[in-house]
Structure 1
Amino acid sequence: MSLSRRQFLAASLVAPSVLRSGTGRAIDPIRRPSDKPDLKLSLAAYSYRQGLDLKNPAMTLFEFIDLAADLPLDAVELTSYYWAETTDAYAEKLRAHATKKKLAISGVPVGNNFCVRDEAKYKAEIQKVKDWTARAATAGATTVRIFAGNLEKGDTLGEAQKRVVAAINECCVVAEKLGVYLALENHGGITDTPEHLLELVKPVKSKWLGVNIDTGNFRTADPYADIAKIAPYGVVSQVKTEVSPGGKTADADLARVVKILKDANFHGYVALEYEAKEDPKVAVPKHVKELRKLIG
């Protein structure tokens, strides 16, 4: 990472953790280091998931980084599903390649499920997040995007929430040692509303947890209003080109989305995660350029 990126990381992520009141307390809305929003633009590898699928790959993560380097981006998000190896050497190669292309690595998403009741599976999910947090740190990522999961048949919301909070608390110990933020995403399941998401975030006794603001995942009556509710807790954001008010898909108002983030004085990476039907090789460059203009 260049000096400017180190300075950005210090200002946008480390400083907020210091500014929260008290060590080891439940997190509050993040007090930002300045009154001026600071958004950096990233691109999620998941946008090219068809080509990166390890079962039949047409593109490597290194080629994805090359593609991203031709766009007006500050960073890339390297989804864990598409890592061809899980070694430190591979993580270091990804970091070096991104640095060579003048891109930071904004984060590494992990496909975990902390709702599982089976004890062995639950422990395995926790270990998965710990392991990927270490890999993310080796790759130079600033955040690890995590999920809560879905309620199992016969379980109760309250019991599932307890398990999720306990798992996040345990993983945050590792995240703190490595200097990587965990970012819990609003991803349906038991995070289907802002209230349910924050019921998991607020009890966590760590400065190293924040929210990943996924702008396309609320299927509520007013997704924009609900994005605004979680924005004060955000350390990273996934911007999608579609929203689902009442469960019906519609084109997202990207200008409105960016305004919500700026109004919340957001400091952090904003990653385009393209999931619409148009070919990503055609659609992604258009949306990146639009977001670049909106973010400034």
Structure 2
Amino acid sequence: MKAVNRRAFLAGAGAALAGAAVTNPVAAQSSTSNGNHGGRGNPIAVATYSFWRFKRDMKMPIVECIDHAARMGFDGVDILLIQMDDQSTGALNKIKRHALINGLDLCCMSTHQGFVSPDEARRQKNVDLTINQIEIAYQLGVPIVRINTGRWGTSGNFDELMANRGIEPVLPGHTEDEGFKWVIDAIEKCLPKAEECGVILGLENHWGLARTPEGLLRIVNAIDSPWLQVLLDTGNFLEDPYDKLEMCAPQTVFMQAKTYYGGGLWYTLDLDYPRIARIMRKHDFKGYVSLEFEGNEDWQAAVPKGLKLLRDAFG
């Protein structure tokens, strides 16, 4: 399948939208008279991670997460793939059907992989894993898959990484430039399957080489494909987040929004969501905002509070 240049793709889409606005003057008047996407606001989803948070004995089946999301009034569900114990076709179809009858979009699927390794076979194994994840998303009808760069692995476990504020040293004998090349080459191998399935890969600022906006955008801009965009996590820029969020906003197609009621599992950020919403609106972000509750409070109280917070800011 012929690759499509991201800038050409976006330019063409923009022209098509402009034409639609001309042929629908009522819609055009509505959108120009209201600075918030014609008054629509951003749809709000909940990550299934919010009901689990890797807490012992709290892993919840995806269909139960869907039930809770519908009851609470969310618009969509962001599935954490490793929370899904059964990935058979029948199980995926059951999840898709359950979301439909509950009136919810399956709007994202968050996955894990790691491309930061000098071992070519290991990188290829993670490419194959990601391609399989894209096919799972396609079966579910999910339009975007959250991907990571992976990490150097020199900081030990995740608790140690968090104690070091997400910073870890480069693997001895290698350089960051090598790491970026490994990641870029690996993601490029995944893009034909993403395009074939119509599934966008959303690269998250999720530690590793995408820990900073500069690193994240270096990868996205080097690949320059409409099938690789930014998935922005509000809680992963630990210092001075607002300027960093704004750097990424123009290329963001999906946002995961952290809350920390009861104190964070690893850290707590006091995030100003009205300010973040203004930043994203300034850059015409119309996509989903997905709640990721990462606190110690009981989810039954904390998740509805997070929904209200995000509705008030992005609605």
Aligned partner of 1:9 in structure 2 is none
Which structure ranks higher in relative contact order (CA pairs < 8 Å, sequence separation ≥ 6)?
Answer: 1
Cα distance, 1:104–1:177 mapped onto 2, change above 3 Å: same
Whether 1:49 aligns to 2:52 is: yes
Distance 1:31-1:274 versus aligned 2 partners, 3 A rule = farther
Query: What is the root-mean-square deviation of aligned Cα atoms in Å?
Result: 2.6
Q: Deviations over 1:46-73 (max 9, x none)?
A: 11125x77x8455211111000001221
Identity within the alignment, %: 34
Residue by residue over 1:200-251, the C-alpha shift from the partner in whole angstroms, topping out at 9 and shown as x without a partner, is: 110114211100011110123x211100110111111101125xxxx97432
Which residue does 2:215 correspond to in 1? 196
Which shifted more, 31-40 or 156-165? Answer: 31-40
Structure 2 partner of 1:168: 187
Is 1:290 aligned with 2:309?
yes
- Conserved 8 A contact 1:147-1:184: yes
Give the partner amino acid of 1:46: Y
TM-score (normalizing by structure 1): 0.83
Q: Secondary structure at the match of 1:286?
A: helix
Distance in 1 (alpha carbons) for counterparts of 2:44 and 2:302? 16
Structure 2 residue 28 is the aligned partner of structure 1 residue 21: no
Match of 1:273 among 292, 304, 307: 292
Q: C-alpha separation between the residues in 1 aligned to 2:230 and 2:52?
A: 23
Moved more, 203-212 or 101-110: 203-212
Contact 2:114–2:126 (CA<8 Å) still a contact in 1? yes
**1:129 paired residue number:** 130
Partners of 1:20 and 1:31 within 8 A in 2: no
SS, match of residue 250 in structure 1: coil
Distance across 2 between alignment mates of 1:59 and 1:194 = 33
> Would the aligned equivalents of 2:52 and 2:59 in 1 still touch at CA under 8 Å?
no
- Does residue 262 (structure 1) correspond to residue 281 (structure 2)? The answer is yes
Give the aligned partner of residue 159 of structure 2. none
Paired with 2:121 and 2:76, the residues of 1 have a C-alpha distance of 36
Aligned length: 269
- Letter of the structure 2 residue corresponding to residue 115 of structure 1: V
Q: How far apart, in 2, do the equivalents of 1:238 and 1:56 lie? A: 24
Q: CA deviation at 1:107?
A: 0.7
Q: Unmatched 5+ residue regions in structure 2?
A: 19-30, 153-169, 261-265
Alignment of 1:58-207 (within 5 A): 59-151=60-152, 153-154=171-172, 155-207=174-226
2:72–2:304 CA contact under 8 A, matched in 1: yes
CA contact (8 A) 1:181 1:210 kept: yes
Query: How far apart in 1 are the matches of 2:44 and 2:258?
Result: 13
Q: Which amino acid aligns with 1:233?
A: Q
1:175-205 CA distance string (max 9 Å, x none) = 1000111000001221121111111110114
Give the structure 1 partner of residue 243 of structure 2: 225
Task: Return the index of the structure with the highest Cα Rg.
Answer: 2
Residues 185 and 211 of structure 1 are in contact (CA less than 8 Å); yes or no, is this contact kept in structure 2? yes
1:92: Cα distance to partner?
1.3
The structure-2 alpha-carbon separation of the partners of 1:254 and 1:205, relative to structure 1 and needing over 3 Å to count, comes to closer
- CA-to-partner distance for each residue in 1:10-51, whole Å, 9 max, x for gaps? xxxxxxxx995336xxx99x969577545211100111125x
For residues 287 and 49 of structure 1, what CA distance do their matches in structure 2 show? 15
Secondary structure, aligned partner of 2:206: coil
